[in-house]
Amino acid sequence: MILPAAILFALFIFWPFLRALWLSLHSWDGFGAPSWIGLLNYQRLLDDHIFLGALENNAIFVVGVVVLKNVLGLGVALLLDQAVRGRAFFRAAAFLPVTMSFVAVGLLWAWIYNPVFGLLNAALETVGLESWTRAWLGDAQIALYAIILVDVWKWLGFHAVIYLAGLQTIPPELYESAIADGAGRWQRFWHVTLPLLTPIIFINTILILSGAFVRNFDLVYVMTRGGPNHATEVVLTDMIREAFLGGSMGYASAMGFALFLIVGALSAGLVLLMRQRSLDV
């Protein structure tokens, strides 16, 4: 029964994985015969200031989205868990950005951030905050953070739904017992809700972590293409540039495997931490 899936996995995932690993040990322009160079591509990574800058941007991206998506996602989930009129509408509205394509979201927010006719600057000017207006995607100091906010906006509903599912598995008897013991709203959240949501927090964090490393190409490329002056360059955009514009397929493969090792190590660490975590409610 698993043979068809195993064949597809071998053809489209396992074999390309091994082929890319083999290419990372070669110098290849995509046309001629690959030339064996061993670990020189990986050594080159350590001296490539653009790659190291992209890796630093990736780290900032990861920290930003992990914190914001978890905190805001849990906050939205707590709001959507309330028994209010129109709750189904608000849940659907929160999830709607998740269904939009990355290209559509990138173009939409590029227009919103536009310094000439963008909605954001126009709104700031309307409320008398002209000094806050910026070239949001043209300023190297804030462009990366502007993209982080867009990524959070797109995926917030997805992580809120996961938290919402976790909230609905918490037995109401625990809250009733806490209330009977005199626990306030904050105490119930800190000592009942949060501990029982720990597995959900780990799951969300792993999803966010992997996505922030390997699924941020679309937004960055559509909105800034890594600019200005590599200020929003991430590993994936640098890798695509090296592979298809620079003709360095082997070096781009080495970038991919370096990223794979980083994401794998972080994800494995989180999984081990989750297994060792004990819940005391």
Which pLDDT belongs to residue 280? Answer: 44
Question: Residue 266's closest CA among 205, 192, 223?
Answer: 205
**Does the pLDDT value for residue 281 go beyond 80?**
no
Q: Which string of DSSP letters, residue by residue, matches 181-235? A: TT--HHHHIIIIIHHHTHHHHHHHHHHHHHHHHHS-HHHHHHHTTT-STTTT--H
Q: What is the pLDDT of residues 217-227, one digit of tens each?
A: 999 999 999 98
Q: What is the dotted CATH code of the domain comprising 48-276? A: 1.10.3720.10
Interatomic CA distance for residues 78 and 104, integer angstroms? 29
Running DSSP on this structure, what letter comes out for residue 251? H
Q: What is the pLDDT of residues 95-118, one digit of tens each?
A: 999 999 999 999 999 999 999 899
Average pLDDT over residues 118-134: 93
- Count the alpha carbons within 13 Å of 218 in the hemisphere toward its beta carbon: 15
Bridge partners (DSSP) of residue 26 are 36
Q: What is the pLDDT of residues 227-280, one digit of tens each?
A: 899 999 999 999 999 999 999 999 999 999 999 999 889 888 888 887 776 544
| CB contact at 8 A, 190 and 59 | no
Long-range contacts of 98-105 (CB under 8 A, 24+ apart): 98/154, 98/155, 98/157, 98/158, 100/154, 102/154, 102/218, 102/219, 102/222, 103/218, 103/222, 105/150, 105/153, 105/154, 105/219
Q: What is the pLDDT of residues 6-19, one digit of tens each?
A: 999 999 999 999 99
**Does the pLDDT value for residue 210 go beyond 80?**
yes
**Does the pLDDT value for residue 199 go beyond 90?**
no
Which pLDDT belongs to residue 141? Answer: 93
Which pLDDT belongs to residue 147? Answer: 96
Running DSSP on this structure, what letter comes out for residue 98? G
Domain boundaries, the chain: 48-276
Q: What is the pLDDT of residues 34-92, one digit of tens each?
A: 999 999 999 999 999 999 999 999 999 999 999 999 999 999 999 988 877 878 888 88
Which pLDDT belongs to residue 271? Answer: 82
Tokens of 227: 């600019």
Question: Residue 121's closest CA among 138, 136, 110, 106?
Answer: 136
Measured from the Cβ of residue 256, the count of other Cβ atoms closer than 10 Å reads 20
pTM score, two decimals? 0.90
